[in-house]
Amino acid sequence: MSPTSHDRPHDADASSEPAEPARRRFLQSAAAAAALGAAPHLRAQNAPEPANAADTPTPPAVPAQPVRLDINGREYVLHLEARVTLLDALRDYAGLTGTKKGCDRGQCGACTVLADGRRINACLTLAVMHEGQRITTVEGLATTGVPATIQRAFIERDALQCGYCTPGQLCSATACLSEFAAGTASAVSADVRTRPAQLSDDEIRERMSGNICRCGAYANIVAAVRDAHAASA
Ligand code: FES
Ligand code: FES
């Protein structure tokens, strides 16, 4: 005959825990663990607020260091933290505000400058990485006050409206013409293994596609680059 529920405690091994105290201890330890987990949160809630901003610990300063940059043929020694972008170094430390900050994340091209003749987004690179290179900004495109061919073409074609993107467009167009002259193919070149035959409007649009113009002056920008190319040819 099987035992009834009243019989079971008496049937259990003498060394076994009675069921009810074991369950109570389990619940107690679970509650203790939950309280420990919540403790940091509770401490944070109960922590006294700093009396004023002076009590807030300040992070250690990043030491500035001298950085030598060749900008538009002139040497600048700028004291910069290593985290300063080339764009901020140009605008805020060298005082060359011709280069514009649009998105500050490599999407608009407003900050385009030349480093050893190659176009780069100055917002995406650190100034300390460019020691020993020739940096050219829009201020350095003219020669002894005479506008460069591409600058004249932009004026003649009225290739700007607000002008915010124009410094980047001019630097980009300068490199675009050099790249084409050097035989560099683009994504729309008929055969990327051979020198593109001519700088068509499609080639110009593709090669200038990293430079956004929110005013939509694209038709005149393409015409200006086409004119500058024809003039230099
Ligand atoms: S500001 Fe550098 S790409 Fe827009
Ligand atoms: S002229 Fe205004 S953004 Fe290009």
Shortest-distance atom of ligand 2 to CA 216 = 4
Which candidate, 72, 71, 89, places its Cα nearest to that of 80?
A: 89
Question: 57 falls in which pLDDT band (50, 70, 90)?
Answer: confident
The fold of 65-140 is Ubiquitin-like (UB roll) (3.10.20)
Shortest-distance atom of ligand 1 to CA 107 = 3
Can you tell me the mean pLDDT for 13-39?
A: 53
Residue 53 has pLDDT above 80, yes or no: no
Q: What is the pLDDT of residue 7?
A: 40
Residue with tokens 């300390």: 128
Per-domain residue ranges for the chain? 65-140, 149-232
What CA–CA distance (Å, rounded) separates 62 from 36? 38
The tens digit of pLDDT for each residue in 108-155 reads 999 999 999 999 999 999 999 999 999 999 999 999 889 999 999 999
Q: Residue 27: CB within 6 Å of ligand 2?
A: no
The fold of 149-232 is DNA polymerase; domain 1 (1.10.150)
pTM of the model as a whole: 0.75
* Ligand with an atom nearest the CA of residue 110: 1
Can you tell me the mean pLDDT for 217-230?
A: 98
Residue 189 has pLDDT above 80, yes or no: yes
Q: What is the pLDDT of residue 165?
A: 98
